[in-house]
Structure 1
Amino acid sequence: MKKRMTFFALISVFLLLMVGCTTKGKGKGKLTRIDVFIGNQEETHIQDKSTLDLVEKISAKVKWEPNTFPKIGQEADVKVVFFYEVKKNLPEKLTEYEIWFNEDTGTAAIISTNEKEGYGTLDKENTAALKNIFIK
């Protein structure tokens, strides 16, 4: 009986540790850097906290269609890579985005490598702000 209690206690502690240490469901992590690629130009890096916070705020306004990956005929205007720190001292999680700016409507079309996001669109106001950050 005592062995059984010890066994169940160890299993309980193990399960508690497993559930407590999982990152699933805790979001993407902390955005630490964005690499911006425009055509054949040199890449630029964004690491300023206030700019990263603004980009995250704008990104939250994107209307996503998960698991949708349309083929767009032309090359993206901007390609960006978001670097997320999920846990200290572990490699960052990367999410790539291709962005097309529609000059006629002032909106943007975005394709993400994150299946939970897929294809998204961004309204005129937020597109202008995002464009000012990425294309200088």
Structure 2
Amino acid sequence: MLIVLISLVGCNNEKKLVRVDYQISENHSGEHIITDEDRIQTIASIFEKVKWENVKVEMSRKEDMQLTFFYQYDPNEPERLEEYKIWFNKDMDTEIVDPNKHRYGKLDEADAVKLREAIK
């Protein structure tokens, strides 16, 4: 029984979001780091609501913000990174591009406001 438990623990490849970096494009103020677990969890739950389409898009203007998610799969290995480019539009919908997976998604106004608040 002990052998089964050890092998199950060793096979846990669940990813955990441990850090979020963001860079605001308009003022090029450098990267900012979010390590607070509550803020990270809020950002992760908002991103779970994104309705993704598998399509490669080009936007007409530079993104307003870039987010980098740091996922920990194994404590003995370095984090894996996922980058997202975000556009906050005047009509309050938010567009997100995942350039690595060629995905495009949108957030509604309420979730866009929550995302902005979690990042500040």
TM-score interval for Structure 1 and Structure 2 normalised by the shorter chain: 0.7 to 0.9
| Deviation >2 Å, runs of 4+ | 20-23
Give the drift of 1:69.
1.7
Q: Which has the higher strand share?
A: 2
Match of 1:107 in 2: 93
1:33, 1:84 within 8 Å by CA — same for their partners in 2?
A: yes
1:52 is matched by which residue type in structure 2?
Answer: I
Match of 1:54 in 2: 42
Select the structure with the greater relative contact order (CA < 8 A; seq sep ≥ 6): 2
Structure 1 alignment gaps of length 5 or more: 1-16
Q: How do 1:53-132 and structure 2 match up within 5 A?
A: 53-66=41-54, 68-104=55-91, 106-115=92-101, 118-132=103-117
- What TM-score, normalized to structure 1? 0.74
Rg (Cα) greater in structure: 1
- What TM-score, normalized to structure 2? 0.83
Query: Helix, strand or coil: the match of 2:82?
Result: strand
1:91 is matched by which residue type in structure 2?
Answer: P
1:70 is matched by which residue type in structure 2?
Answer: V
Distance (Å, rounded) in 2 between the aligned partners of 1:113 and 1:73: 15
Match of 1:43 in 2: 31
Q: Paired residues, what number?
A: 110
Root-mean-square deviation (CA, aligned residues, Å) is 1.8
Q: Which has the higher helix share?
A: 1
Give the drift of 1:129.
0.7
Distance (Å, rounded) in 2 between the aligned partners of 1:32 and 1:93: 10
